[in-house]
Amino acid sequence: MKLKKLRKISRRNALQLIAGFTGTAILPSISFAQSNQALNRINEITKGLGATESDIYLDLPEIAENGNQVKVSFEMDSPMTESDYIKTVYIFADGNPSPNVAKFSFTPVMGSCSATTRIRLSKTQNVYLLAENNNGQFLMTNAQVKVTIGGCGG
Amino acid sequence: MSSIKPRVKVPKEVSIDEIVEIKTLIRHPMHSGRMKDVDGQTIPRQIINSFSAKFNGKEVFQMDLEPSISTNPFIVFQYKAKESGKFDFEWIDDNGETYSISKEMVVS
């Protein structure tokens, strides 16, 4: 079926098609490498084990008018006892010049695992949260933020 | 840099087992190393790279900051009050300088 259809296409169209295909084949590989720097970091930290997608409360504006000051809050559901607590929370941004944004180290005496800060986002992108508990298990979530004016300078 | 002054809000009196919110703010330009000044020269990186909170000498919270943290870092976290004591907050600059502030909290 496909062969028959292809034969009907003129030489010019066929060339355009091929050009189009190769174009789309090359482009994703480039954007893949760039847009997943956050996921690459997550892979590095979890040593390839990956993290479980979880519905962690990650509060970010849907649209940030000013990328210089984007408020981010998160809260994890954890008993925060000596035997079961969230040890570390990382925040990554996949569209910033560097994926690392912040690393929070929690202790069970805090009683709750939540924090707020303000971050810079250079463009519209996904923000990832990766959490590690004291047993070495990883949880993650992400949220997209549309940035009107970028905030990384340059 | 005398212009760098931390500000912290800790409730003075709380009841036992209450989870209190601690708000911190420090005035700091957080030069990411990518911004340019009016002459088009790149401003070298200078950020606060670490923040920590100690309660009665024991570290309870620590945060590593990267250039993606905004100017005048604002950090909020929670703490479960168990006993009266003193918080020591410390910010560490790229140039090795530290800025600190202490706050007392009474648990009744």
For B31-82, the pLDDT digits (tens) are: 988 888 888 888 999 999 999 999 999 999 999 999 999 999 999 999 999 9
Nearest CA to A67 among A154, A153, A148? A148
**Nearest CB to B34 within list A103, A104, A154:** A154
Q: Which residues have a Cβ under 8 Å from the Cβ of A145 and sit 6 or more positions away?
A: A60, A61, A62, A63, A64, A70, A121, A124, A125, A126, A127
Interface residue of A69, A91, A110 to substitute, partner B, most B CBs within 10 Å: A110
Compute the count of residue pairs across chains A and B with CB atoms less than 8 Å apart.
Answer: 102
On whether any CB of chain A is under 8 Å from the CB of B83, the answer is no
Given pLDDT bands bounded at 50, 70 and 90, which one contains residue B102? very high
Amino acid A29: pLDDT: 42
ipTM: 0.90
Q: Which residue of B has its CA nearest to A100?
A: B66
Given pLDDT bands bounded at 50, 70 and 90, which one contains residue B3? low
**Nearest CB to B35 within list A93, A107, A153:** A153
Amino acid B63: pLDDT: 95
Amino acid B52: pLDDT: 95
Given pLDDT bands bounded at 50, 70 and 90, which one contains residue A31? very low
Given pLDDT bands bounded at 50, 70 and 90, which one contains residue A28? very low
Amino acid A49: pLDDT: 83
Amino acid A7: pLDDT: 54
Amino acid B8: pLDDT: 94
Q: Which residue of A has its CA nearest to B52?
A: A105
Q: Is the pLDDT of residue B11 over 70?
A: yes
Nearest CA to A56 among A78, A76, A32, A79? A76
Q: What is the mean pLDDT of chain A?
A: 81
Question: Residue A95 carries which DSSP code?
Answer: T
Q: Which residues of B touch A115 (CB under 8 A)?
A: 63, 75-78
The C-alpha atoms of residue A134 and residue A149 are separated, in whole angstroms, by 38
Amino acid A50: pLDDT: 80
Question: Residue A62 carries which DSSP code?
Answer: S
Q: What is the pLDDT of residues A126-150, one digit of tens each?
A: 999 999 999 989 999 999 999 987 7
Q: How many CB atoms lie within 10 A of CB B59?
A: 14
Q: According to the per-residue pLDDT averaged within each range, which of A10-24, A28-42, A53-67 is highest? A: A53-67
The C-alpha atoms of residue A145 and residue A124 are separated, in whole angstroms, by 6
Q: Which residues of B touch A69 (CB under 8 A)?
A: 70-71
Task: Give the global pTM.
Answer: 0.80
Nearest CA to B83 among B55, B54, B52, B53? B55
Task: Measure A30 CA to nearest chain B CA, in Å.
Answer: 23
